[in-house]
Structure formats: structure tokens, C-alpha cells
Amino acid sequence: MWPSQSTSPAWGWAEAATLRLLFSREPRFGGQSQHLVPGRYDTSDLKIPNDSISSVDVPKGLKVTLFEHSGFRGASAVIKADTGDLGASSFDNTASSVEKI
């Protein structure tokens, strides 16, 4: 249930389950999407196809790191707030792995 989870967040797991993150294939949270609880998610853990994340909905108090390659490698971008269109950044349709804390 907690892919590659290496550390516990400051809150309990039951509370963490309510702090969901939404990744979408289309700008402005459209198209195929996936909700994730805090953890580390490699390419095989994501239901959205590789290199297709276009928007990220980040709950207040959390942050997301998008990684260019699987295995949490390559260039990365930290997102601390809702981003309805990654098109203005270099990470539109680029992320292959994700860390949410």
C-alpha cells in the first residue's frame, strides 16, 4: 500500500490517507488522473503513463518533487502549491517518478 515508503511523515498514516495529491495528464486537472498519499512512487507505481503529468494539485502543507527519470534520478522540480499547467515549466510531460511529503 505504501510504495517505497522509507520514512514516516509527521502525521499518522490514517491522517496521511486524507492528504491526497492529484496528478493529471491534461492541464487544469483534466484527463486521466491519480490520487496519491505521501510516499515515493516510481514509474511502475504510477497509473498515469510515463512522461505525461501536466498538472499537480498539492494540498496545503505538502510538497511534491517530480523527477525526470525513474528511480528518482535526473533533473527534479519541487512543487509546493497547486499547479494547473506545468506547460510553463520544463516538467510538463516529463516526470517519471514522484516523491510526496
For residue 18, is pLDDT > 70?
Answer: no
**What is the chain's percent helix, strand, coil content, to nearest 5?**
15, 35, 50
Backbone region of residue 49 per phi and psi (left: phi > 0; alpha: psi in -120 to 50; beta: other values) = beta
Q: Which residues contact 8 (CB under 8 A, 6 or more apart)?
A: none
Per residue in 28-75, pLDDT (tens digit) is 888 888 888 889 999 999 888 899 888 888 888 889 999 999 999 999
For residue 1, is pLDDT > 90?
Answer: no
Q: Which residues contact 4 (CB under 8 A, 6 or more apart)?
A: 39, 40, 41, 42, 45
Q: Sorting pLDDT into bands at 50, 70 and 90, what band is 20?
A: low
pTM: 0.76
Q: 57: helix, coil or strand?
A: strand
Give the separation between CA 3 and CA 14, rounded to whole angstroms. Answer: 16
Say which CATH superfamily domain 13-100 falls into: Crystallins (2.60.20.10)
For residue 84, is pLDDT > 50?
Answer: yes
Q: Given this model, what pLDDT does residue 6 score?
A: 40
